Amino acid sequence: MDMSDLDWTGYFDSQAGRRVRSLLVDTLARRGAAPPGTALDLGCGEGTETRHLLRNGWRVFAYDADPASEARVRAGLDAEQLSRLTFTASRFEDLGALPPAHLVYSSFALPFCSPEAFPGLWTSIRAALRPGAWFAGELFGPRDDWAHTPTMNFHDRVGVEGLVSGLEVASVVEDDRPGQSFGGPKHWHVFHISARRPS
Protein backbone atom coordinates (compact mmCIF):
# COMPACT_ATOMS: atom_id res chain seq x y z
CA MET A 1 0.00 0.00 0.00
CA ASP A 2 1.25 3.48 -0.87
CA MET A 3 1.03 5.40 2.41
CA SER A 4 0.41 8.64 0.54
CA ASP A 5 -2.96 7.13 -0.43
CA LEU A 6 -4.06 6.85 3.20
CA ASP A 7 -7.60 8.11 3.62
CA TRP A 8 -7.87 9.20 7.26
CA THR A 9 -11.56 10.06 6.88
CA GLY A 10 -12.27 6.47 5.97
CA TYR A 11 -10.06 5.33 8.85
CA PHE A 12 -11.94 7.60 11.26
CA ASP A 13 -15.23 6.06 10.04
CA SER A 14 -13.83 2.59 10.66
CA GLN A 15 -12.81 3.49 14.21
CA ALA A 16 -16.06 5.12 15.36
CA GLY A 17 -17.59 3.25 18.27
CA ARG A 18 -14.64 0.96 18.96
CA ARG A 19 -13.44 0.27 22.50
CA VAL A 20 -10.85 2.44 24.20
CA ARG A 21 -7.45 0.95 23.45
CA SER A 22 -6.20 -1.39 26.17
CA LEU A 23 -2.80 0.33 26.25
CA LEU A 24 -4.48 3.46 27.60
CA VAL A 25 -6.77 1.55 29.97
CA ASP A 26 -3.82 -0.40 31.38
CA THR A 27 -1.65 2.70 31.74
CA LEU A 28 -4.42 4.57 33.58
CA ALA A 29 -4.81 1.57 35.89
CA ARG A 30 -1.09 1.75 36.70
CA ARG A 31 -1.65 5.27 38.05
CA GLY A 32 -3.70 3.76 40.84
CA ALA A 33 -5.56 6.38 42.85
CA ALA A 34 -3.69 9.35 41.35
CA PRO A 35 -6.20 12.02 40.32
CA PRO A 36 -6.63 12.96 36.65
CA GLY A 37 -4.40 15.74 35.42
CA THR A 38 -3.28 17.03 32.05
CA ALA A 39 -2.99 14.63 29.12
CA LEU A 40 -1.72 15.00 25.57
CA ASP A 41 -3.17 12.82 22.79
CA LEU A 42 -0.83 13.01 19.81
CA GLY A 43 -2.48 11.98 16.54
CA CYS A 44 -5.84 11.60 18.27
CA GLY A 45 -7.73 10.56 15.12
CA GLU A 46 -11.49 10.37 15.65
CA GLY A 47 -10.93 10.83 19.37
CA THR A 48 -12.04 7.72 21.24
CA GLU A 49 -9.15 8.00 23.72
CA THR A 50 -9.41 11.79 24.09
CA ARG A 51 -13.12 11.49 24.94
CA HIS A 52 -12.38 8.71 27.41
CA LEU A 53 -9.86 10.93 29.19
CA LEU A 54 -12.24 13.90 29.22
CA ARG A 55 -15.07 11.78 30.63
CA ASN A 56 -12.72 10.69 33.38
CA GLY A 57 -11.87 14.22 34.46
CA TRP A 58 -8.70 14.94 32.49
CA ARG A 59 -7.68 18.19 30.83
CA VAL A 60 -6.71 17.11 27.30
CA PHE A 61 -4.59 18.70 24.62
CA ALA A 62 -5.39 16.74 21.46
CA TYR A 63 -3.40 17.06 18.25
CA ASP A 64 -3.92 15.78 14.74
CA ALA A 65 -2.74 16.86 11.31
CA ASP A 66 -6.13 16.12 9.78
CA PRO A 67 -8.48 19.07 10.25
CA ALA A 68 -11.45 16.68 9.95
CA SER A 69 -10.39 15.19 13.29
CA GLU A 70 -11.62 18.04 15.50
CA ALA A 71 -15.36 17.72 14.81
CA ARG A 72 -15.12 13.96 15.36
CA VAL A 73 -13.30 14.38 18.65
CA ARG A 74 -15.84 16.89 19.96
CA ALA A 75 -18.93 14.87 19.02
CA GLY A 76 -20.90 13.71 22.04
CA LEU A 77 -19.02 15.77 24.63
CA ASP A 78 -20.93 18.12 26.93
CA ALA A 79 -20.01 21.75 27.55
CA GLU A 80 -18.05 21.03 30.70
CA GLN A 81 -16.01 18.28 29.02
CA LEU A 82 -15.41 20.53 26.00
CA SER A 83 -14.10 23.23 28.34
CA ARG A 84 -11.25 20.85 29.25
CA LEU A 85 -10.34 20.10 25.61
CA THR A 86 -7.88 21.98 23.45
CA PHE A 87 -7.59 20.66 19.90
CA THR A 88 -4.72 21.71 17.68
CA ALA A 89 -4.65 20.85 13.99
CA SER A 90 -0.94 20.43 13.35
CA ARG A 91 1.53 18.05 11.88
CA PHE A 92 3.95 16.51 14.40
CA GLU A 93 6.71 18.05 12.34
CA ASP A 94 5.47 21.54 13.28
CA LEU A 95 4.51 21.05 16.94
CA GLY A 96 7.59 22.31 18.77
CA ALA A 97 7.35 22.43 22.56
CA LEU A 98 4.42 20.64 24.20
CA PRO A 99 2.54 21.54 27.40
CA PRO A 100 3.74 19.85 30.62
CA ALA A 101 1.58 16.76 31.19
CA HIS A 102 0.85 13.91 33.58
CA LEU A 103 0.21 11.60 30.61
CA VAL A 104 1.43 11.66 27.03
CA TYR A 105 -0.57 9.24 24.92
CA SER A 106 -0.19 8.42 21.22
CA SER A 107 -1.69 5.34 19.61
CA PHE A 108 -0.56 4.26 16.14
CA ALA A 109 0.37 7.80 15.15
CA LEU A 110 3.99 8.64 16.02
CA PRO A 111 5.34 6.42 13.17
CA PHE A 112 3.73 8.83 10.70
CA CYS A 113 6.11 11.62 11.72
CA SER A 114 8.94 12.06 9.23
CA PRO A 115 12.21 10.40 10.27
CA GLU A 116 13.95 13.77 10.10
CA ALA A 117 11.51 15.38 12.54
CA PHE A 118 11.02 12.43 14.89
CA PRO A 119 14.05 13.11 17.15
CA GLY A 120 12.76 16.62 17.83
CA LEU A 121 9.24 15.32 18.46
CA TRP A 122 10.56 12.71 20.87
CA THR A 123 12.60 15.35 22.68
CA SER A 124 9.40 17.41 23.07
CA ILE A 125 7.52 14.38 24.40
CA ARG A 126 10.22 13.59 26.95
CA ALA A 127 10.34 17.26 28.01
CA ALA A 128 6.53 17.35 28.44
CA LEU A 129 6.56 14.49 30.95
CA ARG A 130 6.26 15.90 34.45
CA PRO A 131 8.00 13.94 37.23
CA GLY A 132 5.91 10.80 37.71
CA ALA A 133 4.10 11.25 34.37
CA TRP A 134 3.34 8.37 32.02
CA PHE A 135 4.02 7.86 28.32
CA ALA A 136 1.84 5.32 26.50
CA GLY A 137 1.99 4.77 22.78
CA GLU A 138 3.09 2.76 19.78
CA LEU A 139 6.20 2.78 17.65
CA PHE A 140 6.72 0.59 14.59
CA GLY A 141 9.65 -1.77 13.97
CA PRO A 142 11.76 -2.58 10.91
CA ARG A 143 9.81 -5.73 9.96
CA ASP A 144 6.60 -3.76 9.56
CA ASP A 145 5.20 -3.86 6.01
CA TRP A 146 5.33 -0.07 5.90
CA ALA A 147 8.98 0.08 6.98
CA HIS A 148 10.19 1.19 3.58
CA THR A 149 7.98 4.26 3.57
CA PRO A 150 10.45 7.18 3.55
CA THR A 151 8.04 9.60 5.23
CA MET A 152 7.64 7.39 8.34
CA ASN A 153 9.95 6.49 11.23
CA PHE A 154 10.79 2.98 12.50
CA HIS A 155 12.79 1.66 15.45
CA ASP A 156 14.17 -1.76 16.33
CA ARG A 157 14.08 -3.04 19.91
CA VAL A 158 17.46 -1.54 20.74
CA GLY A 159 16.27 1.78 19.37
CA VAL A 160 13.09 1.62 21.43
CA GLU A 161 15.11 0.81 24.54
CA GLY A 162 17.24 3.86 23.86
CA LEU A 163 14.21 6.09 23.45
CA VAL A 164 12.75 5.04 26.80
CA SER A 165 16.04 5.04 28.69
CA GLY A 166 15.68 6.92 31.96
CA LEU A 167 11.99 6.04 32.18
CA GLU A 168 10.60 3.28 34.39
CA VAL A 169 9.28 0.85 31.79
CA ALA A 170 6.11 -0.91 32.89
CA SER A 171 5.73 -2.81 29.61
CA VAL A 172 7.02 -2.96 26.07
CA VAL A 173 4.90 -5.50 24.21
CA GLU A 174 6.23 -6.39 20.76
CA ASP A 175 3.85 -7.58 18.03
CA ASP A 176 5.55 -9.08 14.98
CA ARG A 177 2.85 -10.85 13.05
CA PRO A 178 0.57 -10.82 10.04
CA GLY A 179 -2.74 -9.08 10.51
CA GLN A 180 -5.13 -6.57 9.02
CA SER A 181 -4.91 -2.83 8.57
CA PHE A 182 -7.50 -0.39 7.34
CA GLY A 183 -5.88 -0.78 3.91
CA GLY A 184 -5.95 -4.59 3.86
CA PRO A 185 -3.65 -7.44 4.99
CA LYS A 186 -0.44 -6.22 6.59
CA HIS A 187 2.53 -7.52 8.59
CA TRP A 188 2.62 -5.55 11.82
CA HIS A 189 5.79 -4.91 13.77
CA VAL A 190 4.68 -2.78 16.67
CA PHE A 191 6.02 -1.87 20.11
CA HIS A 192 3.28 -1.01 22.60
CA ILE A 193 5.01 1.08 25.27
CA SER A 194 3.88 2.06 28.76
CA ALA A 195 6.54 3.88 30.79
CA ARG A 196 6.79 6.42 33.54
CA ARG A 197 9.17 9.27 34.25
CA PRO A 198 10.57 8.72 37.75
CA SER A 199 9.08 10.99 40.39
User: Does residue number 43 form part of the binding site for ligand SAM (CB under 6 A)?
Assistant: yes
Nearest partner of 112 among 170, 176, 58, 44, judged by Cα: 44
Which parts of 55-84 interact with ligand SAM (CB under 6 A)? Answer: 64-66, 69
Q: Which stretch binds ligand SAM (CB under 6 A): 104-112, 125-133, 165-173, 186-194?
A: 104-112
Min dist CB 106 to ligand SAM, Å, is 7
User: Does residue number 128 form part of the binding site for ligand SAM (CB under 6 A)?
Assistant: no
- In the list 27, 45, 73, 133, the residue contacting ligand SAM (rule: CB under 6 A) is 45
Q: Which spans of this chain sit near ligand SAM (rule: CB under 6 A)?
A: 8, 11, 15, 43-45, 64-66, 69, 91-93, 107-109, 112-113
